[in-house]
Amino acid sequence: MNASIEPLRWDAQARALYMLDQRQLPEREVWMVCKTWQDVAQAIQDMVVRGAPAIGIAAAYGMVLAADGCDCEAAVAGLARTRPTAVNLFWALDRMSRKLKDTAAADVPQALLAEAMAIHREDRAMCEAMGDFGAELLPKAARVLTHCNAGALATGGYGTALGVIRSAWREGRLSMVYADETRPYLQGARLTAWELHHDGVPVKVICDNMAASLMSQGRIDAVIVGTDRVAANGDIANKIGTLGVAVLCRHFGIPFYVAAPTSTIDLSTPSGAQIVIEQRSSLEVTHMGDRRLVPEGVGVENPSFDVTPVDLVTALITERGVLKPLNSDSLAKLLSQNEAHSQSV
Ligand code: MRU
C-alpha cells in the first residue's frame, strides 16, 4: 500500500515547512523547504502548493515562521496578497490573527504552531467526513467526472471532491473517474491523474472538450468538483471550465455536486458576482512549456476561475452533511450549527 499523499509537512526540529512541489508533478517528486513566511508566500504565488484548503494551511504555517521573526503583521499582509480567489487563505489568516491577539507575547510561537497544526489536522478530518457523506450520493459502479484537482494535493490530505471519490472507491461504488485535463495549467492531467493512479483508483484523462460527448453517450453518472469560495447565496467559484461542465450537467440531467469544508464558505460575499477572479499570466495560454502555441502578437485571456450559479449545483457536500437544496438559508443554517450530522440540511 502506498503512503497517503500529503502536500505539506511541518518539520518540528528544523522549524520549517516542507512542500511537495506540485509544479514538478507527475515527473518528479521534489520537496521544497520554506524557512520564512516570505518563502511560503512565494511558494503559494508560484503554485508550488495550490488548491484552496492547502493554500490556507500553508499560510497558517507561514504565520508560525513569521512569529519566529516577530514579523506577524507584515506576514498577514504579504500572505494575503498571494492569491485572491480561495477564501481559505483569508479564513486561515483570520484564525491565526485571532490566536495571535489572544496570546501573551512569550507564548506566541508555540500557540501559533498549535493553531496551524490544528488547522492542518482538522482539514484532513473534514475531508474524510465529506468523503463519507458524498459517497452515499453515488449510484453503484458510478462513473464520475471531475475538473481540476480537489484532491489530497489540494488539502491537508484525502481531498474534497477526490475525498468523495476515494471513499466511493473504498466502498465499491465507483467504476471510473474521468479527469478533465483542465487547460491551461493542467491540474487534472498532471495532479488528479497522478494522485488517483498513485492510490490505485481507476482514472482516465480526457481533454476538456470531450466531456459533452461522453455525457451525451450516457457515460457519466455524476460530476464532483471542489470550490475556492462559496458565496452567501450558494454561487461557487472554481477552476476555469467548471461553469461549462455544470451547464452540460443541466443539459444532460447529470447531478453536479460540489464538495467543500465549511472553511470555504464565505457569508461575507453576497454572491458570485463579488468574488475576485485571479487573472494569471498569458504565458500559460500562449505556451506549452517552451513551445509557443499562439502566434506572436495575438492576445489571450487567462482567468483562473469561473463562477457557477447556485441553481446549477445539485448539492453541496460538507463535513457537517449534505446541503440539498443549496441556498442562502441552508448555508446560514449550516454555519450556525456546531455538531456534525448526517442528514440533508
Ligand atoms: O489554481 P488552483 O490549482 O489553486 O485551483 C484549484 C481549484 O480550483 C480547486 O478545485 C479548488 O481549490 C478546490 S481544492 C479542494
One domain for residues 137 and 259: yes
What CATH number is given to the structural domain containing 264? 3.40.50.10470
One domain for residues 235 and 212: yes
Among 226, 155, 182, 181, residue whose Cα is nearest residue 4: 155
- What would the mean pLDDT of 27-46 be, rounded to a whole number? 98
52 pLDDT above the threshold of 60: yes
Report the DSSP beta bridge partners of residue 180.
206
Domain with 245, as residue range(s), is: 128-344
Q: Give the DSSP per-residue string, 129-174.
A: HHHHHHHTTSPTTEEEEE-S--BGGGSSSSBSHHHHHHHHHHTT-E
CA of 153 to the centre of ligand 1 (A): 10
One domain for residues 60 and 202: no
Indicate the number of domains in the chain: 2
Q: What is the pLDDT of residues 2-21, one digit of tens each?
A: 689 999 999 999 999 999 99
What CATH number is given to the structural domain containing 58? 1.20.120.420
One domain for residues 191 and 340: yes
CA of 308 to the centre of ligand 1 (A): 14
Does residue 340 sit within a domain?
Answer: yes
Provide the grid cell at 244. 461549462
Q: Confirm or reject: Cβ of 89 under 6 Å from ligand 1.
A: no
Q: What is the pLDDT of residues 286-345, one digit of tens each?
A: 999 999 999 999 999 999 999 999 999 999 999 999 999 999 999 999 999 865 444 444
* Residue 338: per-residue pLDDT: 64
C-alpha to C-alpha distance for 225 and 151, rounded to whole angstroms: 10
One domain for residues 196 and 274: yes
> Among all chains, which residue has been given the C-alpha cell 446560514?
332
One domain for residues 122 and 135: no
One domain for residues 184 and 251: yes
CA of 278 to the centre of ligand 1 (A): 12
Q: Which of 102, 126, 150 is the last residue of a domain?
A: 126
Does residue 255 sit within a domain?
Answer: yes
Does residue 3 sit within a domain?
Answer: no
Does residue 1 sit within a domain?
Answer: no
Q: Is there a catalytic annotation at residue 306?
A: no
Q: Confirm or reject: Cβ of 154 under 6 Å from ligand 1.
A: yes
Q: Which of 64, 97, 126 is the last residue of a domain?
A: 126
Return the percentage of the chain with pLDDT > 70, whole number: 97
Which atom of ligand 1 approaches the CA of 52 most closely? Answer: 12
* Residue 341: per-residue pLDDT: 45
Average pLDDT taken over every residue of the chain = 96
Q: Which of 228, 235, 266, 306 is catalytic?
A: 228
One domain for residues 121 and 174: no
Q: What is the pLDDT of residues 65-99, one digit of tens each?
A: 999 877 899 999 999 999 999 999 999 999 999 99
* Residue 108: per-residue pLDDT: 95
One domain for residues 298 and 155: yes
Does residue 2 sit within a domain?
Answer: no
Q: Confirm or reject: Cβ of 167 under 6 Å from ligand 1.
A: no
Triad 72, 77, 79: Cα angle to 5°: 90
* Residue 343: per-residue pLDDT: 45
Q: Which of 126, 153, 168 is the last residue of a domain?
A: 126
Does residue 119 sit within a domain?
Answer: yes
One domain for residues 233 and 321: yes
* Residue 69: per-residue pLDDT: 79
One domain for residues 220 and 103: no
Q: What is the pLDDT of residues 184-218, one digit of tens each?
A: 999 999 999 999 999 999 999 999 999 999 999 99
One domain for residues 254 and 214: yes
